[in-house]
Amino acid sequence: MTITSPHLGSSEAWTDAKLLFALEEVVEKELNRHLKVTKDWMPHEYVPWSDGRNFPGFFEDGEAWDPQQSKVTDIGKIALVVNLLTEDNLPSYHHEIATLFGRNGAWGTWVHRWTAEEGRHGIVMRDYLLASRAVDPDKLEAFRMQHMSEGFESDNRHSMLHSVAYVAFQELATRISHRNTGHQSGDPVCDRMLARIAQDENLHMVFYRNLLGAAFELAPDLTMQAVRDVVVNFRMPGHGMPGFERMAAQMAIGGVYNLRIHHDDVLSPVIRFLKIMDIDGLGPEGRQAQEELGLFMNGLDSEARKFDERLAARAARLAARKA
In a domain, 279, yes or no: yes
94 is in an annotated binding site: no
Q: What is the pLDDT of residues 254-282, one digit of tens each?
A: 999 999 999 999 999 999 999 999 999 99
Residue 230 lies in a domain: yes
pLDDT in tens, 138-173: 999 999 999 988 888 888 889 999 999 999 999 999
pLDDT for 11: 31
CA pair distance 244, 98, nearest whole angstrom: 26
Look up the domain containing 117 and give its range.
30-39+68-322
Residue 4 placed within a domain:
no
Q: How far is Cα 212 from Cα 276, in angstroms, rounded to an integer?
A: 10
Supply the pLDDT for residue 8: 42
What is the CB-side half-sphere exposure of residue 73 using CA atoms within 13 A?
18
Confidence at residue 242, expressed as pLDDT on a 0 to 100 scale: 85
**Residue 210, in any domain of the structure:** yes
Give the per-residue pLDDT at 105. 94
Please state the three-class secondary structure of the chain as a single string. CEECCCCCCCCCCEEHHHHHHHCHHHHHHHHHHHHHHCCCCCHHHHCCHHHCCCCECCECCCCCCCHHHCCCCHHHHHHHHHHHHHHHCHHHHHHHHHHHHCCCHHHHHHHHHHHHHHHHHHHHHHHHHHHHCCCCHHHHHHHHHHHHHHCCCCCCCCCHHHHHHHHHHHHHHHHHHHHHHHHHCCCHHHHHHHHHHHHHHHHHHHHHHHHHHHHHHHCHHHHHHHHHHHHHCCCCHHHHCCCHHHHHHHHHHCCCCCHHHHHHHHHHHHHHHCCHHHCCCCCHHHHHHHHHHHHHHHHHHHHHHHHHHHHHHHHHHHHHHHC
The answer to whether the annotation marks 171 as part of a ligand binding site is: yes
Instruction: Note whether residue 85 is domain-resident.
Output: yes
Instruction: Find out whether 30 is annotated in a ligand binding site.
Output: no
Supply the CATH number for residue 212's domain.
1.10.620.20
Within a domain: 19: no
Amino acid identity of residue 222, one-letter, is L
Residue 291 known to bind ligand: no
Q: Are 161 and 215 in contact (CB under 8 A)?
A: yes
Q: Is 12 annotated as a binding residue?
A: no
**How many structural domains compose the chain?**
1
- Is residue 117 in a domain? yes
Cβ pair 161, 289 in contact under 8 A: no
CB distance 255 to 193 below 8 Å: no
Q: What is the dihedral of CA 85, 235, 270, 222, to 10 degrees?
A: 130
Q: Per-residue confidence at 3, pLDDT binned at 50, 70, 90?
A: very low
In a domain, 21, yes or no: no
Rounded to two decimals, what is the model's pTM?
A: 0.91
Residue 257 contacts residue 180 (beta carbons within 8 Å): yes
Please report the sign of the dihedral spanned by the C-alpha atoms of residue 118, residue 124, residue 126, residue 129: negative
Phi, psi (rounded to 5 degrees) for 241: -75, 145
